[in-house]
Structure 1
Amino acid sequence: MDGVDFRIIHELQADGRLSNQDLADRVQLSPSPCLRRVRRLEEAGLIRGYTAMVDQSAFGLPITVFVRIRLERHTGDAVRVFEEEVGRIEHIQDCYLMAGSSDYLLRIVIESLEAYEVLVRTRIHAIPGIASIESSFAFGSVKQTRTYPRPGKLLRSTGAS
């Protein structure tokens, strides 16, 4: 990837609905080479798809819960079952495998505290092998982005290696 590829990705992260002409103008390419680069980035798996950013509250899911999960055992079967079950729960938006005192960190969006209680009691507690569940509720969002920074930019700007 070169600087033009990074600019293409940056522009598409900011606005995935850009026409090829507008994208080409923003990255200072003619349309044909720009389209070839976008297709190459898609084929390489760097661009995995395009989506609409939806306002979570307006959509009816105003509550964000971060849930730390610790498993009783870390056998291959226990991990596989947990991860498969988590994949089936649509309110779980993200699931991260963690280092530290928790094994997993989940980000859940939900419509109410009552609905969260039902989700925990009926879906999450039903997953075998969970030792502990710890929930933290977000009061608000200070920053939320899906635009990645350019790798290495911070190190280059500070002179660190």
Structure 2
Amino acid sequence: MRRFALDDRDVAILSVLSREGRISKVALAARVNLSPTPCWERLRKLESAGLIRGYRAEVSLAHLGPHVSVFVTVELESHRAESFQAFERAVSGYDEVVGCWAIGGGYDYLMQVVTRDVTSYQALIDAMLAARIGLKRYFTYIVTKEVKSGAPPFDLIHAAPPRD
């Protein structure tokens, strides 16, 4: 992945958009202290460079109906490159898996699953085991309450390089 040179205004644009994706271009420009045209040009460059992957609404699942959010640590049977690739391809086909990360430490992956209930979650795991996608062992952590969810701390991630 190519690193894109960001300045403080670019970081400000990313920060505002990550919290307020529906903000108007004029309001965004005012928030980052730019006129609309230069702000829009920066925004297009950030999108073209792949720094902005998309825009979406943060939906309150509780208002839609009963659901369960589950984090699952996964250990694979084999640690060969093709086993990891096969697992990753297979996981991308399960809509209930809303996030999956390769992790270091004692497990290979951390998955985030959202489904109707625990029975549906178990049916998903049973299907994954039956599909023989390389899942050796898994541990389930059911979310009982969301405590915090938000945008990344862009100002902490993108520290300005020291000036000479």
Percent of aligned positions with the same letter in both sequences?
33
Give me the TM-score of the superposition, normalised by structure 1. Answer: 0.87
Cα offset, 1:62, TM superposition? 2.7
Cα distance, 1:149 vs structure 2: 3.0
Closer, same or farther: CA 61–147 of 1 in aligned 2, 3 Å: farther
Q: How does 1:118-157 map to 2 (within 5 A)?
A: 118-150=123-155, 151=157
Q: In the alignment, what sits opposite 1:77? A: 82
Structure-2 residue corresponding to 1:17: 22
Alignment-derived partner of residue 73 in structure 2: 68
Structure 2 contact 9–32 (Cα < 8 Å) conserved: yes
| Corresponding residue pairs, total | 154
Q: Structure 1 residue 29 and structure 2 residue 29: aligned?
A: no
CA distance, structure 2, for counterparts of residue 152 and residue 108 of structure 1: 30
3-state DSSP class of the match of 2:105?
A: coil
Counterpart Cα distance in 1 of 2:49 and 2:65: 36
Deviations 1:100-153, CA, capped at 9 Å, x for gaps: 111111010111111111111123442332211111111111101134332255
RMSD of aligned Cα (Å): 1.8
Paired residue for 1:88, among 89, 93, 103? 93
Say if 1:26 and 1:152 are closer, same or farther in 2 by CA, change over 3 A. closer
Choose 13-22 or 116-125, whichever is displaced more.
116-125
Gaps of 5+ in 1: 157-161
With the length of structure 2 as denominator, give the TM-score of the two structures: 0.86
Task: Name segments (4+ residues, structure 1) moved above 6 Å.
Answer: none
Deviation, 1:94, is 0.9
AA at the equivalent of 2:136: A
Cα drift, residue 96 of structure 1: 0.9
